[in-house]
């Protein structure tokens, strides 16, 4: 609902999440790697439904970083190819989640290089503000992506990492459009690839 700019739909969908969370009596609700979902439930939600929540709302990256800091996440091995990161606007600029993803990537990367402008100064990937949902905006999206392309070319990563499904799709489409053979991976799945399976026999 937030992504397509329809607040009535957004309110209905947020209310469903809130009603279910209250019914289950949960303490926290966790948003997956989706900038608009996080914005909808965390920031827009209370205004949309006209009341505050009896629970907290966190992005999965915030939760994973808390688990990292408390020693509850154990990883093994590190990626040896050169990685760089795109900070989703809704996560970094709007929500201030910036250092958490860098602390997490340090767990699993031996060669990480930030883009020159990152965090709150990060260039949008070109799909923000619901543009990704507008089929007539393809030309605009790719024009905006040229800033991201220049950033990526400067760092020359083997793979890009992000924490938003919309950003990931835009990065994949933009890289393909400009014939840049750079895969894109979600940070959550990257961490999952390196988790220690404590159930495995030694």
pLDDT at 6: 79
8 Å CB contact between 116 and 64: no
DSSP three-state, residue 60: helix
The string of pLDDT tens digits covering residues 112-167 is 999 999 999 999 888 876 676 677 778 888 888 999 999 999 999 999 999 999 89
| CA proximity to 113, closest of 70, 147, 146, 161 | 161
Alpha helices in the chain (DSSP H): 7-24, 35-38, 45-49, 60-69, 89-92, 99-108, 138-155, 165-177, 187-193
| Phi, psi dihedrals of residue 129, rounded to the nearest 5° | 65, 20
Average pLDDT of the chain to the nearest whole number: 91
Tokens standing for 91?
Answer: 């996560």
């Amino acid at each position: 609902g937030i992504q397509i700019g329809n607040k009535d739909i957004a309110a209905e969908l947020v209310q469903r999440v809130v009603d279910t969370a209250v019914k289950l009596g949960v303490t926290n609700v966790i948003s997956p790697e989706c900038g608009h979902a996080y914005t909808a439930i965390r920031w827009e939600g209370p205004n949309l439904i006209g009341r505050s929540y009896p629970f907290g709302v966190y992005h999965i990256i915030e939760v994973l970083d808390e688990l990292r800091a408390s020693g509850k996440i154990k990883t093994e091995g590190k990626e040896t190819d050169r990685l760089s990161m795109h900070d989703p606007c809704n996560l970094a600029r709007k929500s201030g989640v910036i250092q958490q993803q860098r602390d997490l990537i340090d767990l699993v990367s031996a060669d990480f290089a930030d883009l020159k402008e990152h965090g709150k100064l990060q260039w949008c990937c070109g799909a923000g503000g619901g543009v990704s949902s507008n089929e007539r905006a393809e030309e605009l999206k790719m024009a905006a992506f040229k800033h991201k392309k220049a950033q990526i070319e400067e760092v020359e990563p083997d793979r890009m990492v992000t924490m938003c499904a919309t950003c990931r799709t835009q990065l994949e489409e933009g890289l393909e459009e400009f014939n840049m053979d750079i895969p894109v991976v979600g940070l959550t799945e990257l961490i999952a690839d390196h988790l220690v399976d404590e159930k495995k026999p030694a």
